[in-house]
Amino acid sequence: MESIQLQYPQWYLLIALLVGLLYGAFLYFRSDTFNDKPRWFKPILGFLRSSAVFLIIFLLLDPFIKSIIEEKRNPVIVVLQDISNSINESNRLSPSTLQSLSQTYEVDTLCYATEVALAKTDSMQRNTTNIDRALQYVEDNYAGRNLGAVILASDGIYNEGGNPSYQNYNFDAPIYTIGLGDTTIRKDLSIKNIFHNQLAYLGDELTVEIDISAQSCKSNTSAAKLYKIVNGKAIQIGSERISIESNEYFKTLEKNIKLDSPGINHFRLSLDAINSESSLTNNTKDFYVEVLDERLKILLLAQAPHPDIAVIKRILEKNKNYEITTKTSNSDGLKIADYNLVIFHNLPSVKFDIKKYDDILQRKKIPSLYILGPQSDIDGFNKSQSIVSITAQGSNTNEVQAKVNGDFKPFKLNAGSAQRISQFPPLNSIFGEFSTGANTTTLLTQKIGDVDTDYPLLSFRESLGMRSAVITGDGLWKWSLYEGLQYDNTEALQDLLWKTVQYLSLKDNKKKFRTRTNKKLYNENEVVTIESQLFNDNYQLINDPEVQLTLTHDEGDEYNYTLNRTQDYYSIKIDGLKEGKYDFKGNTSHNGKKYTAAGSFNVKSIDLEMYNLTANHALLQQISKTSNGKFYYATEENSLVNELLVEKQLRPSLYQSNTTKSILNFWWVLAAIMILLLLEWFLRRYFGSY
């Protein structure tokens, strides 16, 4: 359906028509020029000229043709085919089923396992099943289309994502499920789950919980054996006898493992096979633990008990990398050299001189943080460090708020932390004159009343390979209390303290070439990212020379890569790596010098498909029931097709679309004007008039 519309009010057409008629009448009826011609001559010429003028004015009104196009679209049926490792090729939907549907409907076939794809490829991860992700894909990609039905062909086994029978998907189409796989309960002993912390510290005792299941194995016995894998060799570290007392057997074992080696620790749990067991694949499961030997020991040394100490301790203890010890100045047997960072609160004081500790800190290059308060000895403080020098004016104090220095370079606070900190209540600072020493950078300055000053509130200094900092006021407990009441958390104060501690304790790495991964342990379906950095003599990042990478698997396989240049560093992403330990070594040359950097990481298997082989058709039945669909067994594919072909609700939909096109784009309009004017000219010439 088409209609002509104007950009201006329609009554403009009357003006255009009137102008055309007046022009034609004025031209041919105001004089006696054509009185000797036939009676029809003047009216015909007036009509031709008036029509041409009207069409020209009509085009000036910018008319356009609006077209409404109706399109008939068949319903879409989305077929979700499970291609995970638990489904055999022979158990999948037959092509003939899809062919019969495609003759009546628009059929889109999607393959899913860990991810969702339009077609199965060799690179698709198939060792886990995520039904929820597949249905979410339909929701996200078929909104607004005439979705008639969803066919889910699956064995009902899922081991990633949410339970699809409890999810509310935002589409109205019914979900028809086809039950694949084998629901027969077979004689099988299996490891269902192993629960443990992924991260632990050297010397810790790791607790491992192991869920063991057995089907149709009553009166059989087995043994659960725990091994530690070292350089590819399995060393047994534990064993427990298992007596299976029923056909539906489940038991949770608890094992404690002493972690005595740093790095990635590889363990394996194995169940001895029983007679006539249907599958031995799920009798063995490997797991990994990253063991750190880098726990930062922090000493909080205070002149006396203070609420600041409790706040700092509570916030720092949230980080598992930090081990916090609190002491007061009168504590006996304090060995300050045993710590990686010392925080002095209201020290040095008149009652307690810390000069002996200063000497140890300098000699051992132990970083320190000073928090000043009313009990601090300012003269002793000025002698202990070179970050801030204070000329105190009596024993008075100032209330000072914090102002964040946006030009501070060593580290950046999280988004929102700076704004919160600027709103925190004031700390109690020394009343006097402040100055900073050489190589000092300031993160927080003092705001006294409404006046912004350059007096330091939190400053840092690095000298001779040792970092130190000063907070020139106490009362952090007020910051914690305020933030907790206002925001129901202390994220800004935590951000400030964590990054301060991290910066102070970080050892400066002067190596000019570095190669690293972003973590030490990957799942086999993850992409491994390896990055390299190369510095020139001024320690500026460069990436002119090529960087070669050699990756070696613990079984001896070797892979070679050339890293990609990314901004001012190098990187590469590697996927498809099999389980095991990998050593990597980066090599490059610059200015005639060769540089190497090495490291290692582990890849662990996540083939969850092999740990549950009994199809769960009850789940599929629940999905269909919730969505007003139906469940069919694999042998009933034809019944499903027949039902969909006669389903009255699956009707084509009409979609309307509007198009507009300016009449100026149509050649015949201009041709009509030209014909009118040419015909008028021809008649005038033919009858001997100009």
What pLDDT was estimated at residue 689? 64
From the number of C-beta atoms within 10 Å of its C-beta (0-12, 13-18, 19+), residue 65 rates as middle
Domains and CATH numbers, the chain: 2-69+660-686 (no CATH), 75-183+615-651 (3.40.50.410), 188-292 (2.60.40.10), 296-504 (3.40.50.880), 513-604 (2.60.40.3880)
Separation of alpha carbons 196 and 454, rounded Å: 51
Please give the mean pLDDT across all residues of the chain. Answer: 87
**What are the residue ranges in the chain where pLDDT is below 70?**
1-2, 70, 89-92, 121-124, 508-510, 607-611, 648, 652-657, 688-690
What pLDDT was estimated at residue 91? 65
At 308, which amino acid appears? D
What pLDDT was estimated at residue 528? 92
3-state secondary structure 189-221: EEEEEEECCCEEECCCEEEEEEEEEEECCCCCE
**Does residue 348 have a cis peptide bond before it, meaning omega lies within 30 degrees of 0?**
yes
HSE-up (13 A, CA, CB side) for residue 206? 26
Backbone angles phi and psi of 87, in degrees to 5: -110, 125
DSSP 10-61: TTHHHHHHHHHHHHHHHHHHSSSTTTTS-TTHHHHHHHHHHHHHHHHHHHHT
Percent of the residues in the chain that have a pLDDT greater than 70, as a whole number: 95
CB 614 within 8 A of CB 184: yes
What pLDDT was estimated at residue 172? 86
CB 461 within 8 A of CB 417: no
What pLDDT was estimated at residue 435? 93
What pLDDT was estimated at residue 586? 95
CB 287 within 8 A of CB 196: yes
> What confidence tens digit (pLDDT) does each residue in 510-542 have?
688 999 997 888 888 788 999 999 988 777 889
Element (H, E) at 245: none
Name, in order, each residue with C-beta under 8 angstroms of 144's C-beta and a sequence gap of 6 or more.
Answer: none
| Residues 16, 18, 24, 30, CA torsion sign | negative
What pLDDT was estimated at residue 55? 85
What pLDDT was estimated at residue 508? 65
Separation of alpha carbons 427 and 399, rounded Å: 6
